[in-house]
Structure 1
């Protein structure tokens, strides 16, 4: 399990190679990459700035991964989340999960990203032509999270 919160970009192919290296049991790798959109809620976005609470953010993400590993037989998981100023098309987040089979890897990856969107302590501020605005959680993200309740 690896969690990194960083300002720099990441290389998807390199990260996947490292995640699966040396584990011949891996039969499925599922990845999700989130990017900055240039339009949100009807406004043009020229930049998004992400802030976090160092230490607490990493612990929160590790707990999310731990919950995924309790629910599904995954071998490993990687979450990289960027912070700082980002431009449209920039990569924000990578979630990658390895498992023996695709079904478990897909479910765990979706679970992790749903929890990241709603539970991880990140704050997003967008720059629009009307000025800066903080981004609130979406109702659709809360709905997605509810499907994981037991």
Structure 2
């Protein structure tokens, strides 16, 4: 009896999943080996700066686009905004009006890293603490805002 096309595809799918199940422990062991090697290199030469792994590009934002967009959003707002608000506005500007949880989280985390770097350079400040914390441009906040700043 000849197998139907659907049966062939289902069997192929089962084989792929079986192969993935076999390879996942191998991948985990490679991650562990890489971490061990990097720790051993850092122990021998702590001044050596190892380049980070190359990750897949962001599907929504081009390289450097998110920081530029975040800066323009903060300038246009004229007041401190939460990182989540900036992320939602940046995604909306790119046409993503209803982002899924992962896209919003990745965007929010990238913005947090950007804002932390900008704060070290004196471009932004954090107003408030915890979940109520907001980020604003340092020059827009003006005098008298120092009492609300969090030192980090």
What is the TM-score normalised by the length of structure 2? 0.27
More helix by share: 2
More strand by share: 1
